[in-house]
Amino acid sequence: MTLVALALTVLASAAATPPPPATPEPGIGVPRGPQLSGPQLDARTDDIGALLRCPVCQGLSVADSPATMARNMKAEIRDKLAAGYDQEQILASFERSYGEFVRLEPPMRGVNWLVWIGPLAGLLAGGAVIARALKRSPPQSADAPGVASATSPAFDLPSRDTLPADARLAAAVRRVRTLAYGWPDGISPKERS
Amino acid sequence: MSTAATSSVAAERAPRVNRKVIVAGLAIAFPLLAVLVANLGRDPHSVRSPLVGRPAPAFSLVPVGGGTPVALDALRGKTVVINFWATWCVPCFEEHAALTEAARSLPGVQFLGIVYEDEEARTREFLRQRGSSYQSLMDPEGRTAIAYGIFGVPETFFIDGDGRIVEKYVGPLDRGTILALAARAKGGAR
């Protein structure tokens, strides 16, 4: 029973796997990896498809795109994996046709290093700037000058019971009080008592 | 009192910090602006084919309507013009006549069509109606289109007698351009 199942699996995988090419593929040489089959082949096809740009789409990977071209490219990836080509060889084969553009992740070489290092360098530089700024102005306690808190004098607004010293302003405040609070003559109940 | 002292320190420090910020900002912004300006006139869809100057990818494809497969290797020594096209592609209609005519007037140049993502029956009907002076080949799984780095149709490759791609042309061709590029590919073979 197990033998029959094993034989069937072997037969199925033999049918699904095209024979490895007799001559090395131009530009990428002879297969360097294991010849994949079954679920592993499906998984790796998707992995590599996610690293390739679908040339006829707008910013979609080969794995994500429903376009015929993407489907054809997926079939090509599958065949190459089944023949034993590794990820880098497969990416290189598409790059030979489409240029570096076809890779969704720029390869780590030449000026591309900037893309990989740039964000990290920016983050470090930004962190350094913040660290220096923090060092320069040590944390101040709540009662220290220059720190505006809700209890600090800067926020200590006059209560609604006090009137400004200026007579004209005081008259204006009274009028507003009358309108806002309905106090007769704008005199607060506290002032009255 | 102490608040005033703090603000006066800040006022003293402000111009120095600002200059630093401006220099840093320019250092970041200037290269970005330079890249922007340098690429303003560029078509974002045009990607230079890395295949130009390289050996043309080999293929062996069955012609529309069947028959013996046509292999590129068998055409070594001849100038070859390979036109990727489809019946659903409107610009391909326009250039079809120009290609047919150019193929008639250039007997030394081998013209080939490769059908891109299209059905054989529709292609055969198209060729029957419009006529053609050269063979079109079916590329059922699009392998050849992928090998040639096709982004869309029409795209045309001019290959010299050594099997090297001399030129890739994206978009519909007119007669003059075909003759000029074919002549360049022919020159490369000498």
Q: How many CA atoms lie within 13 A of A67 on its CB side?
A: 20
Structure tokens at A47: 């992995």
Q: Which residue has the tokens 């070489």?
A: A109
**Overall average pLDDT of the A165-193 stretch:** 86
**Overall average pLDDT of the A9-21 stretch:** 49
Nearest CB to B142 within list A68, A98, A99: A68
Q: Which amino acid is at B59?
A: F
Whole-number pLDDT of residue A114: 86
**Overall average pLDDT of the A116-141 stretch:** 86
Contacts of A143 in chain B (CB under 8 A): none
From its phi and psi, is residue B55 left (phi > 0), alpha (psi between -120 and 50) or beta? beta
Chain A interface, Cβ < 8 Å to B:
26, 55-56, 68-69, 72-73, 75-76, 94-99, 101, 145-146
Q: Which pLDDT band holds residue B44 (cuts at 50, 70, 90)?
A: low
**Overall average pLDDT of the A117-125 stretch:** 93
Cβ pair B142:A98 closer than 8 A: no
Considering only A21-30, A142-151, B63-72, which range has the smallest mean pLDDT?
Answer: A142-151
According to the 3-state scheme, what is the secondary structure of B126-169?
Answer: HHHHHCCCCEEEECCCCHHHHHCCCCCCCEEEEECCCCEEEEEE
Q: Which pLDDT band holds residue B15 (cuts at 50, 70, 90)?
A: low
Q: Which pLDDT band holds residue A155 (cuts at 50, 70, 90)?
A: low
Residues 6+ apart with CB under 8 A from B169: B155, B156, B157, B158, B177, B181
Output the CA angle A183-A188-A193, nearest 5 degrees: 120
Helix (H) or strand (E) holding B171: none
Whole-number pLDDT of residue B155: 94
**Overall average pLDDT of the B82-93 stretch:** 94
Cα–Cα distance, B125 to B113 (Å, whole number): 15
Contacts of B151 in chain A (CB under 8 A): 55-56, 98
Nearest CB to B47 within list A68, A75, A99: A99
Closest Cα partner for B136 from B148, B118, B150?
B118
CB A91 within 8 A of CB A51: yes
Q: Is the ipTM value over 0.85, yes or no? A: no
Cα–Cα distance, A31 to A15 (Å, whole number): 20
Cα–Cα distance, A28 to A81 (Å, whole number): 13
What whole-number percentage of chain B has pLDDT above 70?
A: 87
Q: Give the DSSP per-residue string, B76-114.
A: TTSEEEEEEE-TT-HHHHHHHHHHHHHHHH-TTEEEEEE
Closest Cα partner for A78 from A32, A16, A24?
A16
Contacts of B58 in chain A (CB under 8 A): 26
Q: Which pLDDT band holds residue A145 (cuts at 50, 70, 90)?
A: low
Mean pLDDT of chain B: 88
A-B interface: how many C-beta pairs under 8 angstroms? 54
Q: Which pLDDT band holds residue A110 (cuts at 50, 70, 90)?
A: confident
Q: How far is CA A11 from CA A5, A16, A20, B82, B96, in A?
A: 10, 9, 16, 40, 47
Cα–Cα distance, A96 to B165 (Å, whole number): 13
Cα–Cα distance, A69 to A76 (Å, whole number): 10
Whether pLDDT at B146 is above 90:
yes
Mean pLDDT of chain A: 81
Nearest CB to B3 within list A73, A95, A146: A146
Q: Which amino acid is at A3?
A: L
State the pairing for strand pair B70-71/B79-85: unpaired
**Is residue A73 helix, strand or coil?**
helix
**Is residue A134 helix, strand or coil?**
helix
Is this structure's pTM higher than 0.95?
no
Whole-number pLDDT of residue B27: 92
Contacts of A99 in chain B (CB under 8 A): 47-50, 149
For residue A101, the chain B residue with the least C-alpha distance is B47
What whole-number percentage of chain B has pLDDT above 90?
A: 73
Whole-number pLDDT of residue B185: 93
